[in-house]
Structure 1
Amino acid sequence: MATYSFVKDFTIWDYYSEKKSRLESIKIPNFPFIQYPNGLPCFEANLYLLKLLKEGHSTFNKGSISKYASNLSHLVNYCYYNKIIKFSELSDNQFTDLIKSLTTEIDPITNLRVRQNNQVRTIGNQCIDLLFFIQNLYNISNLIGTTSSYKIRVIYKSKANLKSTRQTTRNGYYIHHSFPHQNNIKTKFPVSFHAIKKLREYIKSNYERPLAFRQLCIIETLEYTGARRAEVCLLKVQDVINALKCPSNSPSLRLTTLKNKKKRERFVPIPRNFLENLSIYIRFFRKNLISKTIGLQNDHGFLFISHTSGLPLSPDSLTTYFYNWGKSLNENLHPHSFRHLFITEKLKLLILKHNYENIDDFRHALLNTSMFKQMLQQWTGHSSIQSLDRYINLAFSDIVRSEKLKDDVQISLSITAFKDRISFIKDEINSNPEQSSQLVEELKRAIDLLNQELTGYREI
């Protein structure tokens, strides 16, 4: 089967610096490299991956580019076993044969389909994009296109996206007649506050104190920042220190923004008591763990670490934790469901503050009020306001269902962060009586911070 491996510490030139009179390069820890089943490289597919890299696709934790490599390996594999020496020799019937084989492949162990329709369509879309790239690369005139004069005939689908009241843009994509019907996309709902409470109690009861504290801090980070799982793992100790230095009652925490080719970072306003909990983790737990594992001189600076190796925590570790917790608690828990909750709550805040009565009025305000656009994109890291549509529906649905949601959402977040911090401090006093005097000072500071947040709160 066609394979792809990873080239470690891959370095490629980026641009020529006129100021320094030299080529500047970029270094990537792991970059996918596509090979034929006999071990020879597939030059066209690898050039295509380099194009995606230049376009800004993610390579963090192997990133989206590795998924594209996996998708393309099916086409490379098909060409190899069917003795198709050049991609330009592919016919429409052969491309159809590839898609049908992907659709009907059965797992011999489970006797179930290996992949669902939407996954087949995703693979097919990626292969089509590669073939267009090859057509342009070799200046081929008849490989792939929308008319009968091309060997592989595809269908162009356009989608209008409303950018403002006066302007629309059309985002298009190609499909092939052999593609299976699209499956309905399941709606992903925010994690419930009840499930979060159950999860916190479960962690307190089932983990040693240092590890429990880290897990609770991770949950708070997801809840109060709306960060993606990989963005949580990219948080640095220095980001927390810088946020603590902010004189505002609502300091902002820097997050690395993934899945956005233009903006690489954003600053999210957060409760100060949440920051203080991260500070406790850094001072009371993380420093000692780094010292005992990799040594303070080798500290990499990432906030959340493995408590056995001292190395940065990986996004996959977070997914595994939440999967196991959800299984134990019989709850649908996933790191991204906290992001859904964060975005929905922020939208509810804006809706309630400005008394929008229906979805259309609110959408119109988002599209035409630059302040709203900038604020939401800064909070969420979305490159497009249209990405928030499903969250707007959820926010209005929640508001209609419950009058209690007319309470001030931002103050509610501050109070929740305060309660969590009190719980942390209480547990620490019980576990470490010798530090009680220092922790009493932490308690006083938590109360002062809450008072400041409540007093300093103002309308958006």
Structure 2
Amino acid sequence: MSDSQIYTYARKDFQAFFHMGPDGTPQTVSAGGVPLVFWPDGRWCIEVNLYLQRCYEAGASHFGDKGGTLGTYAAYLTHLVRRCFNSGLTDFSQLRHSHFRSFVVGLNADKVWKNGRQVSRRNSETQEKTVCVWLDFLDFVGEFAAIPDFVSKNGRIRAYKMPYKKKVGRNKTTVGMKWSWERRPLRRRVTRRQLPITDGQFGKLKRAADALTTNPFIRRRRLTMFVLFDSVGLRRAEMAMFTVQCVRNAIRDLEAADERGDKDFIPMLRFSTVKGEDGERECPISRVNLRYLESYMLKFRLPLVSRKNTGEALSGPLFVNSKNGKELTHNHFTQEFHLIRKLCGMKEKGSPHMMRHRFITKLFVRLILAHNLETKGELRRLLLSTEAIKEHVREITGHASIESLEVYIHLAIDEVTEFKKTLKRITDLSGLALLSDARNRFASAVASQEDLRNASADLAVTVDEILRGFGKDIDYKNSEEWARFLEITGKKTAGEHESQLELR
């Protein structure tokens, strides 16, 4: 913890007390990454930590290198802690409305220099969110200290909750309660809708990552990152937590399905999520993309981690640092997008979350095409009337409610309308796209003078997986050509390599 920061994060193996078991033994739950707040003089800030514990028990996220939602709350509350400490108040229950009002004014008074002039350190939206967290906390303090109406319309802190309605669709609204306080600044609501990355922009990013990345490991890691963002719609924190075991489990299930002759089997990736009560979600992935993940795992990640971080060679995160073989922070993936955009000279914005928008939009596009829907209304009625489809979309995307997916319906209909103009010229869009990616990867390997035998084998395996999707029972890995390839190159047999990783 630095001098300027008065909160830190619990270790990853930290266990928090939950309750006493029937036999009198304490029961704990994993609470790694939960923020821990102190007073500026180093003393434990009891009330704030108890409040954060309540939020944690209510399901607030604590994942990521910045503590998720709990980390955001801790950052907001430390402003209040500092102001109380500097005013000689170390008991939050002694606060009066005059203190609260001066603290709120102080938020707006914080200035920074930007483009040669002083501007507010926080925009109006951030200021409002900060004060709302303060009021939630002070309401908790009143309950903790048994002070009736500590925060109320006529209480010590004059603030109250009022109902609101928010439009979430053409004919839908959601209701809730929000804090209001004296002299709350009015602000014009600005809608900043972040659109998905387009096909053209995504293609430009992939080509730049492939052709302009000089380090072979980083190149393959970036391309694998794009495959996961595009085919599974991970959040960046979920990408950082994504493990080797997720891929191994999916490969095991796929090979078991192939052995029993199940040609309709759809591989599924099950991974940890940063939102939702279950803590996990499951998404389908194409055979080709799953094999591409496996190839990165075996040919790039395994050799590097075996040298630099042996303990996690067969486990741990899928994406690792090229220098030490250890896990990446979730902010690393945002930085990767920034660097790749600079490589290709792309002026438009591009981020991991825009890739998630792209994934969800494409999911709706496939749903529209599968059901031959023509309008937003038809799609909306399908989702609202068919519980199975509605739950399927919600589970795959990891959203809490179908209302939060409303914007993607509009984007999908717009894309399909444009897409249908050229639909007759496309025989199998998915298969052609996958084959095109495989061809481009092979061409890149040739251009960069990589091992052409390995590149040829990768291309053959990719084509095999595409043909399997059309019911062709073909497997290059079991062919005489593959056996001769292994013999010529002196590689281990496929069976030895797979037994080493315990994939079966």
Q: Residues 183 and 107 from structure 1, CA distance in 2 versus in 1: closer, same or farther, beyond 3 angstroms?
A: farther
SS in 2 for 1:38: coil
Residue of structure 1 equivalent to 2:59: 56
Residue of structure 1 equivalent to 2:388: 371
Residue of structure 1 equivalent to 2:108: 103
Residues of 2 paired with 1:297 and 1:231: CA distance? Answer: 19
Residues of 2 paired with 1:139 and 1:390: CA distance? Answer: 44
Instruction: For 1:43-192, list aligned pairs within 5 A.
Output: 43-61=46-64, 62-108=67-113, 111-145=118-152, 147-149=153-155, 151-159=157-165, 170-180=175-185, 181=187, 183-192=189-198
Instruction: For 1:410-425, list aligned pairs within 5 A.
Output: 412-425=429-442
Residues of 1 paired with 2:298 and 2:447: CA distance? Answer: 18
Matched residue type, 1:195: Q
Of 272, 293, 310 in structure 1, the residue corresponding to residue 325 of structure 2 is 310
Residue of structure 2 equivalent to 1:319: 334
Q: Is 1:254–2:270 an aligned residue pair?
A: yes
Matched residue type, 1:107: V
Matched residue type, 2:208: Y
Decide whether the 8 Å contact of 2:242 with 2:317 is kept in 1: yes
Residues of 1 paired with 2:291 and 2:96: CA distance? Answer: 62
Decide whether the 8 Å contact of 2:302 with 2:314 is kept in 1: no
SS in 1 for 2:31: strand
Residue of structure 1 equivalent to 2:216: 209
Q: Residues 16 and 41 from structure 1, CA distance in 2 versus in 1: closer, same or farther, beyond 3 angstroms?
A: closer
Residue of structure 1 equivalent to 2:244: 237
Residues of 1 paired with 2:125 and 2:450: CA distance? Answer: 56
Decide whether the 8 Å contact of 1:90 with 1:152 is kept in 2: no
Query: Which segment drifts farther, 408-417 or 189-198?
Result: 408-417
Decide whether the 8 Å contact of 1:11 with 1:25 is kept in 2: yes
- After TM superposition, give the deviation of residue 183 of structure 1 in Å: 4.0
Q: Residues 271 and 136 from structure 1, CA distance in 2 versus in 1: closer, same or farther, beyond 3 angstroms?
A: same
- After TM superposition, give the deviation of residue 378 of structure 1 in Å: 2.0
- Structure 2: gaps of 5 or more residues: 258-263, 473-504
Matched residue type, 2:360: I
- After TM superposition, give the deviation of residue 287 of structure 1 in Å: 1.0
Residue of structure 2 equivalent to 1:285: 300
Residue of structure 2 equivalent to 1:337: 354
Residues of 2 paired with 1:161 and 1:364: CA distance? Answer: 18
Q: Residues 410 and 53 from structure 1, CA distance in 2 versus in 1: closer, same or farther, beyond 3 angstroms?
A: farther
Residues of 2 paired with 1:256 and 1:413: CA distance? Answer: 27
**Taking structure 2 as the reference length, what is the TM-score of the superposition?**
0.81
Query: Which segment drifts farther, 5-14 or 266-275?
Result: 5-14
SS in 2 for 1:329: coil
- After TM superposition, give the deviation of residue 301 of structure 1 in Å: 2.2
- After TM superposition, give the deviation of residue 66 of structure 1 in Å: 1.1
- After TM superposition, give the deviation of residue 17 of structure 1 in Å: 4.1
SS in 1 for 2:429: helix
- After TM superposition, give the deviation of residue 73 of structure 1 in Å: 1.0
SS in 1 for 2:136: helix
Q: Is 1:12–2:27 an aligned residue pair?
A: no
Residue of structure 2 equivalent to 1:273: 288
- After TM superposition, give the deviation of residue 168 of structure 1 in Å: 9.0
Query: Which segment drifts farther, 205-214 or 382-391?
Result: 205-214
Residue of structure 2 equivalent to 1:392: 409
Q: Residues 44 and 2 from structure 1, CA distance in 2 versus in 1: closer, same or farther, beyond 3 angstroms?
A: farther
Q: Is 1:450–2:466 an aligned residue pair?
A: yes
Give CA deviations for 1:182-222 in whole Å, capped at 9, x if unaligned: 54131100001111111122112222222101100001110
Q: Residues 142 and 318 from structure 1, CA distance in 2 versus in 1: closer, same or farther, beyond 3 angstroms?
A: same
**Which structure is larger by alpha-carbon Rg, 1 or 2?**
2
Matched residue type, 1:52: C
- After TM superposition, give the deviation of residue 108 of structure 1 in Å: 4.4
- Structure 1: gaps of 5 or more residues: none
- After TM superposition, give the deviation of residue 149 of structure 1 in Å: 4.8
SS in 2 for 1:397: helix
Residues of 2 paired with 1:326 and 1:422: CA distance? Answer: 23
Decide whether the 8 Å contact of 1:200 with 1:216 is kept in 2: yes
- After TM superposition, give the deviation of residue 369 of structure 1 in Å: 1.4
Residues of 2 paired with 1:405 and 1:84: CA distance? Answer: 68
Give CA deviations for 1:213-263 in whole Å, capped at 9, x if unaligned: 110000111011111011112221121122123235531111212122x12
Decide whether the 8 Å contact of 1:100 with 1:178 is kept in 2: no
Question: Over the residues paired in the alignment, what is the CA RMSD in angstroms?
Answer: 2.9
| Alignment size in residue pairs | 450
Query: Which segment drifts farther, 335-344 or 2-11?
Result: 2-11
Decide whether the 8 Å contact of 2:282 with 2:396 is kept in 1: yes
Q: Residues 5 and 266 from structure 1, CA distance in 2 versus in 1: closer, same or farther, beyond 3 angstroms?
A: closer
Decide whether the 8 Å contact of 2:368 with 2:379 is kept in 1: yes
Decide whether the 8 Å contact of 2:95 with 2:156 is kept in 1: no
Decide whether the 8 Å contact of 2:245 with 2:315 is kept in 1: no
Residues of 2 paired with 1:340 and 1:188: CA distance? Answer: 8
